[in-house]
Amino acid sequence: MLHSMRRSTGVVTEFDDVAGLGWIESDDGSRVRLHCVAIVDGSRSIPVGTRVRFKVTQRLGLIEAVDVEPIR
């Protein structure tokens, strides 16, 4: 598993509460997959439009966000 050393920022653009899956649009324009277990506060849900800070990892060939936390 590869972790980026740098934290990125972006906005949650999609999130399905039932599936626990969504997408973050990073400030650099890339889209990163979001799984509910990656939300650091344990809430398992995050509203669309929330600005977040996160790291990026590669798992099973997919790029995913980890350590996702809302920017307050």
Evaluate whether 13 touches 51 at the Cβ level (below 8 Å). Answer: no
pTM for the complete prediction?
0.88
Measured in degrees and rounded to the nearest 5, phi and psi for residue 33 equal: -65, 145
3-38 tens-digit pLDDT: 455 789 999 999 999 999 999 999 999 999 999 999
Q: How far apart are the first and last CA of the chain?
A: 29
What are the residue boundaries of the structural domains of the chain, listed by start?
2-70
29-45 tens-digit pLDDT: 999 999 999 999 999 99
In CATH terms, the fold of domain 2-70 is: OB fold (Dihydrolipoamide Acetyltransferase, E2P) (2.40.50)
